[in-house]
Structures are given as C-alpha cells and as structure tokens.
Structure 1
C-alpha cells in the first residue's frame, strides 16, 4: 500500500510537470479554425465517454458536418487511418461502433491528434469531436467535457497506481462542463449539493443510462424479456454492473461471461459462450451483449447468427430541468460563429 502511494506521488509529479509546461506556454497547444469539442475524463475509464460522444453526435449532426478523432485504443494498426469499414483490429471497437451506427460520419484514428484533426479539416468537416483527449494538451479544444460517474466521482479517487486518476483532481478546472453519468433515478437537491460542494460553480449536468430495445444481432428483430427469461450477459467493457442490475430486475436470472475492457473475442471464446448458453437449463433463454461488443462479435456471425443473440441499445437521459441540450447547442453555435469571424 505504501509502495503504491509512493509511485502515485512520483506519477503525480511527472503529470503535473507536463501541465505546468503547457500552463506557462513553454509547450504550446495548437488552435484550429474549426470548432473542436473534447470528451474526456480524469480517471482511467468506465465513465461512459463513448455513450456521451454518441449523444453529442445525435444532437449536433443535424446542423453540422461532424468529424471524430480518436487514438483508436487497443487497435493493432499504427499511424493515421480513416475509418472506412468495420474492422475492430485495425481501428478499435469504439470508433467501429460509432461508424456502424452513423455511416455518414468522417472518423479518423491517430495517436497524433494534431495530424488527425488537420486531415479531418481537409475533408471539410465543420465540427470535430475528440474522444478521450483531456490529457492531450498539444491540442487546444474549444469546449471541454469531463465525465465522472455518480457512484465513484473523481474527487474521491487517487492518482495512479494507488487509484485510477490520470492527473490531479484540481485539473478538472480546465474543463468547461462536468457530466455526471450513471445517476440514480432519484436526484434530489441534497445529492446535487454534494457534487456542487466539490465542483464549485463549474457547470454540471446529470444523466442516467436509458435502456432501449433489445435487437437480434443479425435479423434486428426485437425481443421483450419476461420474468421467466434467463440471460447470458456477454461483455468486454470496463463495468457491466449497471447493465447486469437492470437485466436482473426484469428476468429470472442473469449469467455472465465477462472479459476486460476492449477485449477482442476469438473463435475459442465464441465457442465457450455457446457452450455456456447451451448448458442453461431452460428453453426461455437469450444471450445479451452491448453495442460496443457487437462490432467485435460480428466477426463470428456465421457461428452465432442462428442463436438468440441480442444487442442492448442504450441512450443517455439528462435531467429535464438542466436544459443540457439547449445550453450546449447555444455554446457550439456561438463558438462556431466566432471561428468563422476570426
């Protein structure tokens, strides 16, 4: 324990030194002539960034030609690539999920965000969303979101490796907005005050995960779970607790097959999933996976396509009194207008 705290101290010194260099313009952040939105967090994952990016796309794509830049976490390729097809090994699972939902999007992966953003601008995009870019100080975002979960907010956490923070808690002040994800259904003033005591006057929005239709992985046919249904939940995400609990409320029993976040399924694991499913002793049973895991499992569609394999669609539901969409659209319009005039 003491050793982990020591390494956290060393990690924090290096992290803060880098931030100081940028804060005093010794190292320079690059501005761009298009509106750049950054979605990030202070912790190492599991806050729901991809779902939030999905939400922003739904909000903004009606009025803007959007580009997405991501490093393509856990991809096996290197350098810059436009995401032209659904290849999770080449691009990563998150961007492939977005491309499968929004084929019209111009999506790029590049660990060098400056280069990636310039190539998106060459494609005449009007607005760029940078996924997981809060720690990338080489790029100057116009609007910065950081996400944290309701049950495990970053201000109760510690620096790596003792905790899960990538940088010091105080650096949330660089953001424009805080998004509290995975909130309880009941959100009273006492709970809001708890967050405001830690976040001060920083604009903060609360949202919960809304579970939509279950659709078959191949046919897209919908399925309604009943109290007699048993479910095999197959996931490779940072935290499947919320989904597990939601399914457990409406089904007889939930079995799980879990892998680490971004794990790439192989034929061996697909065979294991089918074997476990066949052992569930009821005829009223289905397999459920996430939208992010779907794009990886589609590589084995000829093996699983005839099974009752369903995808759980989700959306974010913001507290109705927060006026999230109205305020963000106004901020984006004003920023884009200023970019055009400058």
Structure 2
C-alpha cells in the first residue's frame, strides 16, 4: 500500500526534482551566494534520507583528528524541540539538542559539540576558538561552501533506481555527487565482489572523479546503562530489541547471526519515547519466558531514553563503528589530513 501511494506521488517527485535542480544551478552559477570560512570545514552528508552511517563516520573523523586539533562538530540537531544555537553538554537532553549530537558529546566530552539549523551562524559562533569544524549532515546546506566534502552513499541504494522524494528516498539529484571530494560507499556486505564495485563505479564516474571508498558497519561490544561492557556473552540469548532508527534490518541480522532469537519493537527514526512506549517495552520483556534474555537498544536510541524507567531492568545498548575495506582507510585518512594540514601550511 505504501509503495502504491509512493508511485501515485510520482508527479510530485518530478516537481521536487526540478526545484532541487534549479536551486543547485543557482548556487553553482553564483545567483545564490554561498559563504566560505577561513577555517577548515568538513561536511559529512548524503543524497538520500535515512541511515547511511553519518554518525559513525563523524565519530571516525573525531577519533582521527581530535588528538591533533581543537575540533568542533556542528549539527542541525534533528529531532530537537528547540531553535537556534546551543552548545551540547553531557547532561543535555535529546529534546533540546538532538540525539546524535548528544551521543557525540557523551562519547567525546573533550570536544565542542554544537547545534544550529543555520550552519553559517553556527560556524561564526565557534570558529575563533577552534582549528576545524565537522559539519554533520550539511551536504544540502549550500549557503555554506565547505572546504572538504565527504559524501556517503549506502550500498543498497546504488542497486535501485534513483528516485526523488516522495516516490523514492533521494533528496538531491544524483549528479550532486560532483561536489564531493571523497565518496564513501557505506554498509557494504562483508564480501563485496569486484563486479559489484565495477557496477557502482560506472554509475558514479559519469559525474565525479573523486576517490570511491568502501566501508561496512561493525557492531561493538554491548554496554550497560553506565557505559561498561556487558560481561556476559550475548550469544544465543532471547533478545528484546527496541529502536527508532532508519534501517534496523542490519542490526537484527547481526544479532541473529550470533544465534540470538530477536524480538523487535520498532519505531520511526528519531522517535521520542513516551510512557506508553516504556510500558509496552517492559511488559514485552517480562512476557519473555526465557531466563537467558536481554533488553537491548541502539546507542542513538539510548540518548533519548529516560534511564530511570529501566532502573530494575538489565538494559544494554550496542555501539556501531565504521570500518574500511582493504587499504581504503589509508586513502581516506591521508586525503582528510592533507586537506587540514594544507590549510595551516598556507595560512599567513
């Protein structure tokens, strides 16, 4: 039914595609003005809605760059109920700053994390006290012209027709990849064939000569409510998984591959949990008869929870990280580091 409705809305997708094309043309021709800044600015973005792995890629960059530079991340703060500029603190709430910025701050308390729907205003607010800024999900925010753009494309999306919203999932024309300095194919299967790579690269190289790199998502050790590794082996457990992420299928498949029987309770992306949700989750967990059971969520969902609700429950969450194939991490690291270093070499 949803697919049928999407195809009925195909004329709307054509109109939207035209609007996006005209908007990009106006920026490309200088009719609409973009602002550049005298500080390294790295954008991490995508062309489609949904989970392409921006958060783990941002965390990869934080780990790569923060030991050497005064680094800040700037996000829109999707899902927050506030407007304007905010510095994110470790005790902030997701409703105030968004779940992903809160995750960055709690995971990397030594860096500056800020949110602002106006990226240019946000950069001006923090640029004087930092060496570089990572802009999460700002590929379409063309009022700001970044110094370096990293475009993420999910592997599965490249094997389907490129259709614009609302019929498809793309929010920008595929030709927009020409603005990227690095193109990263995310969430690849563990064994990607040379033939599949060739198919992807033929599609992309019509528009861009940027390096094309390949990554997959790796699931880390599950953590408990206070961030300590869960000591018990989670293999073969009855697992009640509740989450509000764009695509939970890879996580479910991962847990099942470890012999877990997964009982999923799924919500829309960035879902704000209610008392009714908490009650439903706890009741579902209590109905599970197995003594070898686990209550699990994602790291992003964990930021939006009222942890005290689960005070008497063995709640855990599972972090994810980006891992590159072959030697692609060296290509990626060198390209990013060279961009940042070049700025300081050329600075008067």
Please say if residues 7 and 167 of structure 2, whose CA atoms lie closer than 8 Å, have aligned partners that are also in contact: no
The aligned residue for residue 74 of structure 1 is 79
With 66-75 and 303-312 compared, the bigger mean Cα shift is at 303-312
Q: Secondary structure at the match of 2:156?
A: coil
Unpaired runs of 5+ residues, structure 1, are none
Please say if residues 220 and 321 of structure 2, whose CA atoms lie closer than 8 Å, have aligned partners that are also in contact: yes
Shift of 1:217: 1.6
The aligned residue for residue 198 of structure 2 is 193
Judged with a 3 Å threshold, the aligned counterparts in structure 2 of structure 1 residues 293 and 140 are, in CA distance, closer, same or farther, namely: same
Distance 2:100 2:159 in 1: 23
TM-score, normalised relative to structure 2 = 0.92
Judged with a 3 Å threshold, the aligned counterparts in structure 2 of structure 1 residues 156 and 253 are, in CA distance, closer, same or farther, namely: same
Please say if residues 52 and 316 of structure 1, whose CA atoms lie closer than 8 Å, have aligned partners that are also in contact: yes
Q: Secondary structure at the match of 2:35?
A: coil
Please say if residues 221 and 229 of structure 2, whose CA atoms lie closer than 8 Å, have aligned partners that are also in contact: no
Q: 1:310 aligns with which of 306, 316, 327?
A: 316
Shift of 1:280: 0.8
Shift of 1:114: 0.7
Q: 1:30 aligns with which of 9, 27, 35?
A: 35
Shift of 1:218: 3.0
**How many equivalent residue pairs?**
337
Distance 1:43 1:62 in 2: 31
- Verify: 1:244 aligned to 2:252, yes or no: yes
Judged with a 3 Å threshold, the aligned counterparts in structure 2 of structure 1 residues 252 and 79 are, in CA distance, closer, same or farther, namely: closer
Shift of 1:160: 1.0
Please say if residues 7 and 161 of structure 1, whose CA atoms lie closer than 8 Å, have aligned partners that are also in contact: yes
What does the per-residue CA deviation read over 1:193-235, in whole Å, with 9 as the maximum and x for residues that have no partner?
Answer: 1111111132111111111111112362424445541101111
- Verify: 1:17 aligned to 2:22, yes or no: yes
Provide the alpha-carbon RMSD of the alignment: 1.6
Judged with a 3 Å threshold, the aligned counterparts in structure 2 of structure 1 residues 336 and 292 are, in CA distance, closer, same or farther, namely: farther
Please say if residues 239 and 294 of structure 2, whose CA atoms lie closer than 8 Å, have aligned partners that are also in contact: yes
- Verify: 1:217 aligned to 2:225, yes or no: yes
The aligned residue for residue 266 of structure 1 is 274
- Verify: 1:232 aligned to 2:240, yes or no: yes
Please say if residues 264 and 296 of structure 1, whose CA atoms lie closer than 8 Å, have aligned partners that are also in contact: yes
Distance 1:144 1:179 in 2: 11
- Verify: 1:119 aligned to 2:128, yes or no: no
The aligned residue for residue 90 of structure 1 is 96
What does the per-residue CA deviation read over 1:6-60, in whole Å, with 9 as the maximum and x for residues that have no partner?
Answer: 1111111111111111111111111101100001111012111111111111111
Q: Secondary structure at the match of 1:152?
A: helix
The aligned residue for residue 299 of structure 2 is 291
Distance 1:125 1:227 in 2: 44
Shift of 1:3: 4.1
Judged with a 3 Å threshold, the aligned counterparts in structure 2 of structure 1 residues 283 and 145 are, in CA distance, closer, same or farther, namely: same
Q: 1:175 aligns with which of 177, 180, 204?
A: 180
The aligned residue for residue 257 of structure 1 is 265
